[in-house]
Amino acid sequence: MAIHKSGEDYLEAVMMIHKEKGKVRSSDLVKKMGFSKPSICNAVALLEKDGYLIMNEDKTLELTKKGKSVADKMYERHSFFVRWLESLGVSPEVAEEEGCAIEHNVSDDTFEKIKKAYESQI
């Protein structure tokens, strides 16, 4: 089953929290994403069922290889689009919000072409 935008956001958040803290708990996602604990638990259960992450016995969350692949891809896109928008004069706050929207709505091929064109100009 294809992963949805919200699932991509959850996986990216798990990866970012892991980089910051080392261990990731559902409560960390509640704080980072601003959703309720029941919403986070439902999303985690779906992502675990689909093989994107694992809940360990100590209740910490861990990305699977499949989940890490998606998280890495989304983080690369997100970071690129935020930088790109800021280079065009977009405020950091708007670049963050709109970069997040763009990252989910561009094909791999289009992303690579935009990235290549941008990198050839700097």
pLDDT per residue as tens digits for the range 2-53? 789 999 999 999 999 999 999 999 999 999 999 999 999 999 999 999 999 9
pLDDT exceeding 90 applies to what percent of the chain?
A: 95
- Residue 13: its pLDDT value, please? 96
- Residue 1: its pLDDT value, please? 63
The alpha carbon of residue 59 and the mean position of all alpha carbons in its chain are separated, in whole angstroms, by 21
Chosen CATH of 70-121 out of 2.60.40.10, 1.10.60.10, 1.10.490.20, 3.40.225.10 = 1.10.60.10
pLDDT value at 97 more than 90: yes
DSSP-H helix ranges across the chain = 5-21, 26-33, 37-49, 65-87, 92-104, 108-121
Phi, psi for residue 24 in degrees, rounded to 5: -125, 130
List the domain boundaries for the chain.
5-64, 70-121
Chosen CATH of 5-64 out of 3.40.630.40, 1.10.357.10, 1.10.10.10, 1.10.287.130 = 1.10.10.10
User: Mean pLDDT across the chain, nearest whole number?
Assistant: 95
pLDDT digits (tens, 9 = 90+) for 53-68: 999 999 999 999 999 9
- 7 half-sphere exposure, CB direction, 13 A CA radius: 21
- Residue 2: its pLDDT value, please? 77
- Residue 122: its pLDDT value, please? 75
Q: What are 37's strand-pairing partners?
A: none
Q: Judge whether 5-64 and 70-121 match in fold.
A: no
Cβ atoms of residues 17 and 24 within 8 Å: yes
- Residue 121: its pLDDT value, please? 87
